[in-house]
Amino acid sequence: MSKFGSAIFNRLVIIIPYVWLTVFFLAPFFIVLRISLSETAIAMPPYLPVFNLADGISGIVEKIGQLSTANYEFLASDALYTNAYLSSLRIAVVSTIVTLMIAYPIAYSMAKAPTSIRPTLLMLVILPFWTSFLIRVYAWIAILKPEGLLNQFLLTLGVIDEPLIILNTNWAIYIGIVYSYLPFMVLPIYSSLEKMDHSLTEAAQDLGCTPICAFWRVTFPLSLPGVIAGCMLVFIPAVGEFVIPDLLGGSETLMIGKTLWNEFNSNRDWPISAAVATILLLILVVPIMFFQHAQAKADGEGK
Amino acid sequence: MKSLGSIRRSFAPWADPASVPFIAVRNVTKKFGNFVAVDNLSLDIYPREFFALLGASGCGKSTLLRMLAGFEQPTSGEIVLDGQSLAGIPPYRRPVNMMFQSYALFPHMTVENNIAFGLKQDGMPKPQIAERVDQMLKLVKLDKFAKRKPHQLSGGQRQRVALARSLAKRPKVLLLDEPLGALDKKLREETQFELMDLQQQLGLTFVVVTHDQEEAMTMADRIAVMAHGKVIQVATPPEIYEAPNSRFVADFIGDVNIFDGTVSAAGPGAVEIATEAGFKVRLASAEAPAVGTKAGLAVRPEKIRVSRDKPSCAPLNAAEGEIWDIGYLGDMTIFHVRLKDGKVIKASSLNAVRAVEDPLGYDQQVWISFDENAGVVLKD
């Protein structure tokens, strides 16, 4: 009886994530995909065809025939979208690298700190989450604007003669993204560094490595899983980021999140914005799948 | 090939005043805050010696080893290796290598890359590295496992990789931190002898830290028994066992019965002690403590006879008691004999024949006795 019960329990535990992904990822994705293959219309909802169970099977088959890839062809033909994708990727790559360079030393010193103060340090990293993300981004406006805190401070020190124009430039976007996503980079790197056996670096030194060499040959390679996890956690949301470029960036900054927003809200072109979202998803998911596959293969080698 | 035993028998550089120590630890103290881990310690270790630091955890043996490796700096005092002071020399410039207790194998590297790590670091040409790695793999009998990652190996195999890696650079001294601690008993015993053969074959100086006295006794040329950051006794295994210099060493190494008493007579070559257990003991002893002083007397269980009949030496070196407990171990039997004053002493006897007629049983009245040279007088 209990054995039977536990078998059912095990099944349930496995099923839960699948159900979750199906309901909250796969189903919405197919809805978006279907809209992206539709045509704009002045209607409610603003696209055609609209599937309706009342049409019967033959009606649905007929409507499937009306779907087309015209929206994707349009995206490919208009340089605006390509540029927006490329610019988003560039901004995301640069911010990910900058975040990594700031987060790694933070995570490293946290992992090297006395065990007694580590929980406090961890708490400090998570602390910003206590405040709303939106409020924190607004706060950066107050800091970065021409008459803002940063400029006042630098002017008082005499470092600069006239205010720096940071707000509404790409610089502000980089600052915003790096600041907002820093904890997502620090935490996985910290967790991979923290569980590392300290005697490994000692062994490297014992075998003739200077501390710097021991870091590059032993510590860093072993923290790579954390680095990769952190980079994904920063890169993926950064590509589609909308709030930060909208609030901190200038009008000339082209990011795909903002483009999508415009298509959806200003133009009310649901099919085009659905196509933009689908492409964005493919850009992010396909390389990650290849990467995971390669990783699994590398792990399996030699077994 | 000359038998290793013949070399070993004559190996005693510490007894020769002309020999120069290879490692000289001079008045080394190491403090961590207020805690004194190593307390004004001095030691000499000779070339090609297999030297063991033995003690309970927290006695400072690992700290001493880490100071030899360069991971800790002495608070005061000096360590000299082969005539050169090691003060201020970082671990990566010391001609010593260490085998870590956890093995500390690099999990992201294959077995051969682990072994080659130090050689690459030294900028050795590639073909030579390959040759040396090959040689090391053969030495530890792991040639078939070169491409494996550490997590694909058993504990014993990992131990061998760690050993091969620490030997690959041909260090002048190999430091081993509890090298066999993680192995099961059978493997540990085999590996002990392999380590000894390896050390003889390579002609290296080994310094091993262990809390396992059997391991130290089996492998080492000399043992330093440590407690509270100090060396209590440095001697060969037989000396440590048969002539402990203190109650601590006698008690720490092997099983022992300690009788407290007062010196009642002291003549040339012999001492008489009246024990608190109520019998007199006469022992052969080079030293003669003053009559009336307190003294301890240590007798190992295997040197105590248990008999039904009154021994001929009685009342000297003999006492009556009853058998309290019997532990049958196969190769020998341990008797716990309760003397008249309530003190329980341990005696062991070898089971040299298969069937004993009328063996000793529980609650039997017996005599225990021992020879004049069976015990050691301990001054406290």
A230-244, B6-20, B303-317 — most confident range: A230-244
Average pLDDT over residues A187-208: 94
- Inform me whether the pLDDT recorded for B8 exceeds 70: no
pLDDT of residue B295: 85
Where in the sequence of chain B do the CATH 2.40.50.140 domains occur?
A: 255-378
Average pLDDT over residues A83-96: 94
The answer to ipTM > 0.85 is: no
Q: Which residue has the tokens 């030579």?
A: B128
Structure tokens at A101: 């360079």
pLDDT of residue B9: 58
Residue A206: pLDDT band by 50, 70, 90 thresholds?
A: very high
Out of A102-106, A174-178, A294-298, B161-165, pick the least confident: A294-298
Average pLDDT over residues B87-96: 94
pLDDT of residue A293: 86
d(CA B120, CA A208): 9
Question: Is residue B133 within 8 angstroms of chain A, CB to CB?
Answer: no
Superfamily of domain A89-257: MetI-like (1.10.3720.10)
Q: Which residue has the tokens 């600052």?
A: A175
Contacts of A197 in chain B (CB under 8 A): 102, 104
* CA angle, residues B325, B329, B335, in degrees to nearest 5: 25
Mean pLDDT of chain B: 89
d(CA B240, CA B224): 9
pLDDT of residue B5: 52
A161 alpha carbon, distance to own chain's centre = 38
Element (H, E) at A63: helix A56-66
Interface probe for A, chosen from B67, B94, B106 (most Cβ of A below 10 Å), is B106
Closest Cβ opposite residue B69 in set A200, A204, A206: A206
- Inform me whether the pLDDT recorded for B6 exceeds 60: no
3-state secondary structure chain B: CCCHHHHHHCCCHHHCCCCCCCEEEEEEEEEECCEEEEEEEEEEECCCCEEEEECCCCCCHHHHHHHHHCCCCCCEEEEEECCEECCCCCHHHCCEEEECCCCCCCCCCCHHHHHHHHHHHCCCCHHHHHHHHHHHHHHCCCHHHCCCCHHHCCHHHHHHHHHHHHHHCCCCEEEEECCCCCCCHHHHHHHHHHHHHHHHHHCCEEEEEECCHHHHHHHCCEEEEEECCEEEEEECHHHHHHCCCCHHHHHHCCCCEEEEEEEEEEECCEEEEEECCCCEEEEECCCCCCCCCEEEEEECHHHCEEECCCCCCCCCCEEEEEEEEEEECCCEEEEEEEECCCCEEEEEEECCCCCCCCCCCCCCEEEEECCCCCEEEECC
Q: CB B131: neighbour CB atoms within 10 A? A: 12
Where exactly are the structural domains of chain A? 17-68+269-303, 89-257
pLDDT of residue A161: 87
CA dihedral A198, A202, A204, A205 (to 10 degrees): 150
Q: What does DSSP assign to residue A22?
A: I
pLDDT of residue B228: 93
d(CA B249, CA B232): 7
Residue A175: pLDDT band by 50, 70, 90 thresholds?
A: very high
Structure tokens at A201: 């670096």
Out of A279-283, A292-296, B130-134, B234-238, pick the least confident: A292-296
Contacts of B171 in chain A (CB under 8 A): none
- Inform me whether the pLDDT recorded for B7 exceeds 70: no
pLDDT of residue B308: 87
Nearest residue in chain B measured CA to CA from A211: B92
- Inform me whether the pLDDT recorded for A25 exceeds 50: yes
Percent of residues, chain B, with pLDDT higher than 70: 97
Average pLDDT over residues B14-39: 93
CB B275 within 8 A of CB B260: yes
Average pLDDT over residues B113-122: 94
Closest Cβ opposite residue A199 in set B92, B102, B147: B102
The torsion angles phi and psi of B104, rounded to 5 degrees, stand at 50, 40
Q: Which has the closest alpha carbon to B306: B277, B336, B279, B331?
A: B336
| pLDDT tens figures, B96-114 | 999 999 999 999 999 999 9
* Fold of domain B4-95+171-249: Rossmann fold (3.40.50)
Average pLDDT over residues B27-47: 94
Interface residues of chain A, partner chain B, Cβ below 8 Å: 197, 199-200, 202-210, 213, 217-218, 221-222, 302-303
pLDDT of residue B2: 44
- Inform me whether the pLDDT recorded for A212 exceeds 60: yes
CA dihedral A13, A14, A17, A19 (to 10 degrees): -100
State the burial class of residue B146 (Cβ atoms within 10 Å of its Cβ: 0-12, 13-18, 19+). Answer: middle
- Inform me whether the pLDDT recorded for B293 exceeds 90: no
Mean pLDDT of chain A: 89
- Inform me whether the pLDDT recorded for A120 exceeds 50: yes
Residue A303: pLDDT band by 50, 70, 90 thresholds?
A: very low
Average pLDDT over residues B241-265: 90
Nearest residue in chain A measured CA to CA from B162: A203
Cross-chain residue pair A207–B117, CB shorter than 8 Å:
yes
pLDDT of residue B363: 84
Element (H, E) at A294: helix A270-300
Which strands make up the sheet holding B205-210, listed edge to edge? B96-99, B173-177, B205-210, B50-54, B222-227, B230-235
CB B114 within 8 A of CB B142: no
Percent of residues, chain A, with pLDDT higher than 70: 97
Residue B289: pLDDT band by 50, 70, 90 thresholds?
A: confident
Question: Is residue B222 within 8 angstroms of chain A, CB to CB?
Answer: no
Interface probe for A, chosen from B62, B101, B108 (most Cβ of A below 10 Å), is B108
pLDDT of residue A302: 43
pLDDT of residue B276: 86
DSSP, collapsed to helix, strand or coil, labels residue A240 as: coil
Spell out a b/e string for B102-120, using b for 16 or more CB atoms within 10 Å of the CB, else e. bbbbbeebbbbbbbbbbbe
The torsion angles phi and psi of B52, rounded to 5 degrees, stand at -115, 135
pLDDT of residue A3: 65
Q: Give, in words, the CATH class of B255-378.
A: mainly beta
Q: Are strands B35-45 and B294-299 parallel, antiparallel or unpaired?
A: unpaired
Cross-chain residue pair A209–B92, CB shorter than 8 Å:
yes
Contacts of A205 in chain B (CB under 8 A): 70-71, 90-92
pLDDT of residue B287: 75
B197 alpha carbon, distance to own chain's centre = 17
pLDDT of residue A54: 77
Out of A200-214, B64-78, B246-260, pick the least confident: B246-260
| pLDDT tens figures, B201-229 | 888 999 999 999 989 999 999 999 999 99
Percent of residues, chain A, with pLDDT higher than 90: 60
CB B320 within 8 A of CB B339: yes
Nearest residue in chain A measured CA to CA from B117: A207
Average pLDDT over residues A213-230: 94
Where in the sequence of chain B do the CATH 3.40.50.300 domains occur?
A: 4-95+171-249
